[in-house]
Structure 1
Amino acid sequence: MKKFNIKESFRKGVKNKRLRHGSYSMGLALIVLAIIVVINMAVNALPSKFREFDLTGQNLTQISSQTTEVLDALTKDVQIYLVAQSGQEDETTKKLLDNYAQASDHIKFEVRDPVKNPAFLNSYQDMDLYNNSVIVECGDRKKALSPDQIYEYQMDYTNYSSTVTGFDGEGQITSAISYVTSENLGKAYTLTGHDEAAMTDSLKSLIQKQNLETEDLNLITADQVPEDADFLLIFSPMADISAEESVKIQNYLTAGGHAFIVAGYTGGTPQPNLDALLAGYGLERVEGVVVEGDPNHYTGSGQAYIVPDKESHEITSGLEKYILMPMAQGLQESQDHRDTVQVSSLLKTSDAAYSKPDPANVTTMEKEDGDIDGPFMIGAAITETVSAGEGNTGMEDTGTEGADTADTDTEGADTDSTDTGNAEDQSASKETRIVCLTSELMFDQGIDSQVIGGNMELVGKAVSWLTDGEEVTVSIPSKSIDNTSLSMTAMGTLLGFLGCIVVIPLAVLVTGLVIWLGRKNR
């Protein structure tokens, strides 16, 4: 019997080509596996903003440049909590808050389970908290955001079910950070008493996100526009303002006040005093409703659903989304306004636009005799540098009876305003600012959703411009949700890439090698 020699057998095995090739393949596989493990460890060490990507284009969890500016300006520490039971955390909100914490050393973020930590809620008994509520606090000031504020819903009354239509996480959270870190909050007064349109939920939410308090103002009973007003909102009145109110508004504006005026088609109801006020600042309303003749400037809903051109201005800067202005009224710059008044177009129709003077009795949308030729402004911004002690100069020679009445009362009203309003520094100058838009329907959520929030983004930037001052304002619109969010991590992308160029080819190679060796040994 021949003795088995282990050393000789091993030496022959090393010389065997098949065994040598198999060793090479195994070594290569181990090297590739080691590389994948090392890359995986390196990628997991990176912040999530570098590891995860939103492939839907909605960027629900990414923070915008405006939020970055707010975070960069922080000098106080802000604590944020996501109140959620373990395993029930909203991943979109959680990921967004992670990005806030990574963007600023002043932001601290924690998830708190109220079931496991019931004592945590003792400090927030004055707040209505729900699963996935967000608490933002700085010092003694705090604010709670419910899931219904973070997400937007649309109710289907046919089956009484709701569908998520928008994610307003960034806008609400950045607003809350601004709120808890601000020393003073702004205030907007809404003119009442003229059958004004009700503010839409979208507009209310936007003003709330700007950290502005709102209060109704009746200028029939009030002596003046309050001095703490950041701006006066005149929201689509159907009836005219009185001559007395016109004087009070004019006094406020000539002292450097700001106004947001939505003045659209009123159904033929004359508004001579409001027209006189606008004319004093270089704007004239064109009779009727604007119709577009250029197919590139209206939607499938009809020629009165105008998609205007955005003109160059601070308000429209960086605004990439479309604007939709249904049933807008045209504006033209008057030729005889004061030289100190600067009128800037924000939104403009095409040259093919025209106005239907009597839209209630329109028989055709085609241009016909009697229609007023465009183009028109349907959104404008006005500025005027004034002395802090300057009196009323804007109502002369406007050509209406209401304006004449206002002029008669101007001297006394101006004296009162000067005596009470600006005794500190008569020589200082201020800038009057006015934004005028001519479509009430543009504020409707359904209309706004057709341009993916473009309308409210414009309005938000306009409010920021009007409240430009000491405090940071926030005008981040909600993000529309029209499909399921799809995210892929950087590691997933890497594994997919390696799978395609390494694992699959290697598997094919090994399979082919096994088949070839099997056939060779037959």
Structure 2
Amino acid sequence: MKRIPFRIPSPRLVSLRRGGYLAVVTAAAIAIVLFLNLIVGQLPTHLKELDLSDNQLYEISDTSRDFLAGLEQDVEVVVLAEEDATDPRILKFLDRYAALSSHLTVTEVDPVAHPTQAAAYEANADSLVVVCAETGRQEVIPYSDIITYSYSMFSSTEDSFDAEGQLTSAIRSVTGGSEKYLYTLSGHGESELSAPISQAMEKAGFTMATVTPLLTGAIPEDCDLLLVNGPTADLSQEEYTLLEDYLSGGGQMVFLCSDSEENFPNWSALLESYGLTLVDGYIADEERYYPQFGSLFAIAGAISTGTEVTQGMSEQDLTLLTNSRGFTQQEDTDAVITPVLTTSSHASAVTLDGQEVPGTYLLAAVSERAGTDGATGRLTVLGSNSLIDGDILSSYPNLVNETLFLNLLTAGFEDGSNLSIPAKSLAVTYNTIPNPGLWSALYLVVLPLVILVTGLIVWWKRRRQ
């Protein structure tokens, strides 16, 4: 048998083979990395970036997600601005927002490079133009409505980022969302609505105006909702009849009590006709008050969950009412009353002369009663207009006051969803402890000493071994 000689490769040949193999593997790895980078680079922003911003600027609420999921008309959002002139935060949010519906498209138009195309939108530069070709409607959102500023004598500071709220409201409007006319009653010392509430109501789809029944002699026929914000004077008998007829004909009214203990017989009579009796005095609640205010009259009304108004809310959500009036429900009424906010069983109605009447009181309720021609009137009553006080809303953004109020406004309509999305704060978040007190001593003295002593003990034990 002939033997085949076995030759051992030379070290140099082995080295060359290994070097060639490593070179091929390295080249392949580099090619794969470059290829993956090219692919990832083409992905939209919402797929390749996480939202690590303060207050989650780019997170989209369930309200908008549900609304966009049901969107049926095609909507185009036109970024009308010069190239690179749009704040990157707006573009990043747009990318995430448009990805939620196949009916949404985003187009960029440079008014300098394409003046004719930009002129067709009849809008100023630095704005978003929301267009629905099917309905022929258009809404313009200036950048100044998306990123708002507060100004001082020497500087300006960013306040809020309202891309989601403005876009959802504009899309609802251009796709044919029903327009609702809200009239605020005047002539009885009513309070003006705060700017945050007015803006939120506009985003919810309300067109607002004012009516003075003594001058007009009637409630406008197109009034879908009548808002009475903290009257400090009573109704005349003629006005009482007008409001009673308006409600009996299927009208809707929201009534907020003022910070006054004065009795107004005609207002009280209107509430009683819908099964609600206004009690004397302000409501104090020993179980549900805010100690930091130093008053039993600054209370957190307990939310009655499971109703159309409080859908999505929980018993842990917080409200704040100050100097609120309370209501009791009449037993012999033909109205259907739905509690919205209530006190605990440890509450009392306290008058100015110090009399206390303990009990459990309604702080907000919805009363519906059949009127003429089978129409159902809807009267919503709140014990205090502090629920929508601008200072409270801005100072305590964790409260659900605004959301609850807008739910109360929109719940009586067929498309009763509240699409008013609050703006997100752009205030700088500092990584510090406010009013540190003893905490500063803990971090600056106690912890360093503990670490030093522990190190000395470990060192001593090791040295003795």
Category of TM-score, reference length = shorter chain: 0.7 to 0.9
Superposition CA RMSD, Å: 3.2
1:278 and 2:271 are equivalent in the alignment = yes
Asked if 1:190 is matched to 2:135, the reply is no
Q: Which residue of 295, 300, 305 corresponds with 1:307? A: 300
Residue equivalent to 2:214: 220
Within 5 Å, give how 1:500-519 maps onto structure 2.
Answer: none
Matched residues in 1 for 2:49 and 2:330: separation? 56
- The residue identity in structure 2 corresponding to 1:334 is Q
Which residue identity is paired with 1:164? E
Q: What is the alpha-carbon distance in structure 1 between the residues aligned to residue 236 and residue 318 of structure 2?
A: 32
1:297 and 1:350 in contact (8 A); partners too: no
2:327 counterpart residue number: 332
Match 1:11 to one of 10, 13, 17: 13
Q: Contact conserved, 2:285 with 2:348, CA < 8 A, in 1?
A: yes
Q: Decide which of 185, 198, 201 is 1:204's aligned counterpart.
A: 198
Give 1:351's aligned amino acid. Answer: S
* TM-score of the aligned structures, taking structure 1 as reference length: 0.71
Q: 1:330 and 1:262 mapped to 2: Cα distance? A: 10
Shift of residue 130, structure 1, vs aligned partner: 4.8
Q: Which of these residues, 39, 43, 48, is aligned with residue 51 of structure 1?
A: 48
Structure 1 partner of 2:113? 116
3-state secondary structure, aligned to 2:262: coil
SS class of match (1:265)? coil
Matches within 5 A, 1:386-401: 386=370, 390=372
Which AA in structure 2 matches 1:463?
Answer: L
Say whether the 8 Å CA contact 2:364–2:380 is kept in structure 1.
yes
Contact kept? 2:229, 2:258, Cα under 8 Å: no
After superposition, the Cα gap between the structure-2 partners of 1:25 and 1:354, relative to the gap in structure 1 and judged at 3 Å, is farther
| 1: CA distance, partners of 2:284 / 2:132 | 51
CA, structure 1 residues 236+375, in 2 after alignment: closer, same or farther (shift >3 Å)? same
In the alignment, does 2:290 pair up with 1:298?
A: yes
**Is the aligned partner of 1:147 residue 2:149?**
no
Give distance in 2, aligned partners of 1:28 and 1:430: 80
Contact 1:328 1:378 in 2 (8 A): no
Aligned-partner Cα distance in 2 for 1:315–1:221: 34
Rounded to whole Å, the distance in 2 between the matches of 1:470 and 1:317 is 15
1:376 is matched with which residue? 361
Offset at 1:55? 3.1
Question: Which residues of structure 2 form unaligned runs of 5+?
Answer: 1-8, 431-465
Q: Which residue of 2 aligns with 1:413?
A: none
Q: TM-score, normalised by structure 2?
A: 0.79
1:59-458 matches, cutoff 5 A: 59-125=56-122, 127=123, 129-131=124-126, 133-139=127-133, 140-155=136-151, 159=153, 161-182=155-176, 184-266=178-260, 268-294=261-287, 297-298=289-290, 300-303=292-295, 304-312=297-305, 313-319=307-313, 322-339=317-334, 341-358=335-352, 370-384=355-369, 386=370, 390=372, 426=373, 429-449=374-394, 450-452=396-398, 454-458=400-404
Aligned residues: 416
CA distance in 1, matches of 2:263, 2:274: 19
Residue type at the aligned position of 1:375: T
For the 8 Å contact 2:110–2:118, the answer to whether it is kept is no
How far apart are residue 146 of structure 1 and its match?
A: 1.8
Q: Which has the higher contact order (CA 8 A, sep 6+)?
A: 1
Equivalent pairs: percent with the same residue?
27
Question: Structure 1 CA distance, aligned partners of 2:74 and 2:405?
Answer: 30
After superposition, the Cα gap between the structure-2 partners of 1:372 and 1:150, relative to the gap in structure 1 and judged at 3 Å, is farther
Give 1:121 shift: 3.4
Structure 1 unmatched ranges of 5 or more? 1-6, 362-368, 391-425, 486-522
Mapped to 2, the partners of 1:209 and 1:301 lie a distance apart of 32
Counterparts of 1:124 and 1:191 in 2: how far apart (Å)? 37
Q: CA deviation at 1:211?
A: 2.1
Q: Is the 8 A contact 1:346 1:381 kept in 2?
A: yes
Q: Who is 2:423 aligned against?
A: 478
Letter paired with 1:441: S
Contact 2:81/2:109 (CA < 8 Å) preserved in 1?
yes
Q: Cα distance, 1:226 vs. partner?
A: 2.8
CA contact under 8 A between 1:72 and 1:104: conserved in structure 2?
yes
